[in-house]
Structure 1
Amino acid sequence: MTKQETQIMKGVAILLMIFLHLFNQTRNVELCESFIYIGNMPFVYWLSAATSPVSFFLILSGYGMHFIHVKWKVKDTHKWNRIAKLYLHWWVILALFTIPSFVYNGNYYTNCSSVINNYTAFNTSWYAEGWFLFPFVCLSLLFPLLFKLTDKFRVGWVLPVSFLVGTCTSFIVSRYGAQYLYNNLWLYNPFLIVHLAPSFIFGAMLQRTGFIHKVQKKCNSKWLWLALGGTVIIMCLTRTAAWGPLYATTFIVLFLSAPRWLWIDKVLAHLGNHSMNMWLIHAWFCYYIFHDLMYSLRYPLVIFVTLVVVSLLCSYFVNAVCSFITIIYHRKCQNTK
């Protein structure tokens, strides 16, 4: 998987993320005017089950970090820069969306521990959709140890064990609910790291085996789109998160191996470059601030496209602010030398 292909799949993943958060709740889809129904529920509700965006992002991250692991056997010299950049964007987005609200009606910033928890992402109570951030940072720091462990075993052992771990943790979530674990964050976050690790490892094994490149060399047929459609249908029917890593892996392999129009790749790659920002932005509009306005657009396609465009435009602004802060920081560092 090339860097361009990684960005393309990140673009797919963020579209899946936005679609999931728009249409996976019955109270929201009931506000929409849909043309296609399956039973009593709109088609978009059923289709939201075939998203699993967290698994996509983790597989792509695991793929990239295993490449770094292979390239930099001794030390990854850029991991702290990557984490600092991620947190900078998170802090800017939090400031942009919470400070105006605090000034206007007094929400947020009224409790010191809450401020610390949210800005470290240890507990993203202000923006629940950012729950992924802290365990992802931990995986980003732990990946050299994790991959040293997996490198000792054959892929044929690593993948089934990882899938079993993911299935067990998914069962715990479905049986007891995330809220049960959430009441104890010192248990919740380690659990999330274990729960997310299988997708991360699946991505690493894709890089280790070069499986995507092998499939691309042997298969480049339009029939792969039919296979991809069948995979999506199976996921919609089963509606279980336990299949997340396997489903996302299959989707990535089929999508990158199937023939595509060049302009689609360009659009997806552009979205992929903004995917993390869009993840941390979009729910402010569809859940927290402009929920009623967003769903007043009525039609699912119009709502979806609008939220994608608004999130992308906000991402441009966030990048500009982060670039300005980075320039100021570097200038100050140079002046102190």
Structure 2
Amino acid sequence: MNVNKWQFSRQDTKALKGVAILLMLMHHSMAFPDRIPQKYEFAVSSSGLKHLILVGSFGKICVAIFMFLGGLGLAKQIQANKFHFLKKVWGLYRVYWRVFFIFVPLGFLFFSRQPKYTQAFMWNRFARFSFDKFIQNLTGYAATYNGEWWFIRAFIAAILLGTIYYYLTEKIHIVYVETGLVLFISVITVKFLPALIKLDTFSSLASSYLWTQLFMPDTFVCAYLFGIVFGKYDIFASIRSLFSSYSSINRALIGLMLIVSAFYFQEKVFSNLSDMMLIITPVFMTGCILLLDLCKPLCKVMQFFGGLSTNMWLTHTFFCYYFYPFAIVIFWSRNPIVAYLTLLAITVFASVFLDKFYFSIEKLGVKLRKKIKGIKNR
């Protein structure tokens, strides 16, 4: 069996997830000054705050990276005959519910009565229990307990649309054709269809849940499709092979240039337009890959964060937004770097604790099953 030594592996995926989750924490700790507890706003000048918001807003690319990697993984699984749609959806819900059934009860038990500590609506997520809202959040239909949980619904839609896309384009074997097709789909779904439903003839579609979820996916879902293309044609492997003859210094310079260019064009040229993120994301990821290939210790660190990334995604905003005492601990210094590192430390600790807690539960379950089986066999 021939193995491409430049192939994009699961460890590479984990490393880029690590980059993405660090960007996500940066995004949520710096890009929204109205969500920071009052009297604990960052002690920076107005120009300094603008720069912080600029840097933080770029962190939104993390969602496109996660979507992109999800699509790439789907393509690899289908090619290896290891893809099962229901199993993939169940895997997402399983991780989601592991967090849900701990943090939501904690919210109602300890954080239902909080002062109005931000300009944004962060303090009253658990003020009143509603069974309807509980079910809606449990299924991922709504994200009222944690605004950043909207991703669950979007990712399930991406898996469904990505699966359909892969099998519809299975006969296509030209990378340029598929790249153009995904870009065309992005333009249609992000620009044309929203304008179409504003017409009186099609106005009823605006209230159709299936239409908005399946026929009007946002740029992030289109990033999932682009990831499928990269996975299907091993584009990252080709890029690595292309730069393999370059010296380490040149590869480092190219990687830095790609990262800086991605930031500059996304924030300065395109003014953080979400539809351009579809093109910016693979450029940024390529720069990260070139740098991570040159620094194995850094790659290991990113893989560590990547291994915890889903837990970190699902939990971090409870600490910096929704649970008031933790928000004070994070922002008390009024220093953005200290706040970021504090959020990172708390989130990592919580994520590791979650993994160890459920590992212990599963281990206990195995012991109980063996004990029950032994009693039955007597």
What TM-score, normalized to structure 1?
0.85
Match of 1:223 among 253, 256, 259: 253
Match of 1:158 among 166, 175, 178: 178
Q: Distance in 1 between matches of 2:57 and 2:171?
A: 35
How far the C-alpha of 1:242 sits from its partner, in A, is: 1.1
- Paired with 1:302 and 1:310, the residues of 2 have a C-alpha distance of 12
Partner of 1:43: 51
Report the more deviating stretch, 249-258 or 105-114. 105-114
Match of 1:118 among 112, 118, 137: 137
Give 2:54's aligned amino acid. W
Report the Cα distance in structure 2 between the residues aligned to 1:182 and 1:296, rounded to whole angstroms: 43
Residue identity matched to 2:148: E
Distance change in 2, residues 1:80/1:321 (3 Å): farther
Query: Residues 220-270 of structure 1: CA distance to partner in whole angstroms, max 9, x if unpaired?
Result: 512211232122111121221111121111111222123532211111000
Say if 2:308 is the partner of 1:274: yes
The answer on whether the counterparts of 1:123 and 1:185 sit within 8 Å (CA) in structure 2 is no
**CA displacement at 1:300 relative to structure 2:** 1.2
Structure 2 unmatched ranges of 5 or more: 1-7, 114-125, 198-204
Equivalent of 1:3, from 3, 10, 16? 10
Partner SS, residue 151 of structure 1: coil
Segment drifting more, 10-19 vs 292-301? 292-301
Q: Structure 1 residue aligned with 2:103, among 97, 118, 121?
A: 97
| CA 1:264–1:80: 2 relative to 1, 3 Å | same
Q: 1:231 to 1:143 in 2, by over 3 A?
A: closer
CA offset at residue 313 of structure 1?
0.7
Partner of residue 244 from structure 1, selected from 256, 266, 277:
277
- Identity score, percent: 20
Report the equivalent of 2:25.
18
Tell me the equivalent position of 1:83: 89
Distance 2:193 2:164 in 1: 26
Residue 197 of structure 1, aligned match among 193, 213, 221: 221
Asked whether the 8 Å contact 1:170–1:241 carries over to 2, the reply is: no
Maintained 8 Å contact 2:252/2:290 = no
State which of 309, 321, 330 in structure 2 corresponds to 1:287: 321
Segment drifting more, 229-238 vs 134-143: 134-143
1:9 to 1:102, Cα distance in 2 relative to 1, 3 A: same
- Secondary structure of the residue that 1:42 maps to in structure 2? helix
Moved more, 24-33 or 264-273: 24-33
**Deviation per CA, 1:101-152, whole angstroms, max 9, x where unpaired?**
3234483773222111111111121111010112313433554332011223
RMSD: 3.1
User: For 2:319, what is the secondary structure of its paired residue?
Assistant: helix
Change (3 A) 1:328 1:164: farther
What residue identity is the alignment partner of 2:43?
E
Q: Is the 8 A contact 1:235 1:247 kept in 2?
A: yes
State whether structure 2 residue 233 is matched by structure 1 residue 209.
yes
| Distance in 2, Cα, partners of 1:256 & 1:82 | 26
Distance 2:366 2:165 in 1: 33
- Paired residue secondary structure (2:333): coil
Q: What amino acid maps onto 2:300 in structure 1? A: K
| Amino acid in the other structure paired with 1:308 | L
2:140/2:150 contact within 8 Å kept: yes
- Are 2:257 and 2:287, in contact at CA under 8 Å, matched by a contact in 1? no
User: Residues 55 and 199 of structure 1 are in contact (CA less than 8 Å); yes or no, is this contact kept in structure 2?
Assistant: yes
Distance, in Å, in 2 between the alignment partners of 1:255 and 1:188 is 33
Q: Which residue of 1 aligns with 2:201?
A: none
Are residues 170 and 17 of structure 1, via their aligned partners in 2, closer, same or farther at CA, if it must alter by over 3 Å? farther
> How far, CA to CA, are the matches of 2:219 and 2:208 in structure 1?
16
Q: Supply the distance in 2 between the matched residues of 1:83 and 1:273 (Cα, whole angstroms).
A: 19
Structure 1 residues 109 and 189: CA distance shift in structure 2, 3 A: farther
Aligned counterparts of 2:216 and 2:150: Cα–Cα separation in 1:
9
Alpha-carbon distance change, 4 to 164 in structure 1, aligned in 2, over 3 angstroms = same
Is the 1:8–1:268 contact (alpha carbons within 8 Å) kept by the matching residues of 2?
yes
- Could you tell me whether the CA contact under 8 Å between 2:161 and 2:214 is conserved in 1? no
Shift of 1:218: 2.2
2:67–2:220 Cα contact (<8 Å) kept: yes
| Higher mean C-alpha displacement, 164-173 vs 318-327 | 164-173
Question: Match for 1:234 among 258, 261, 265?
Answer: 265
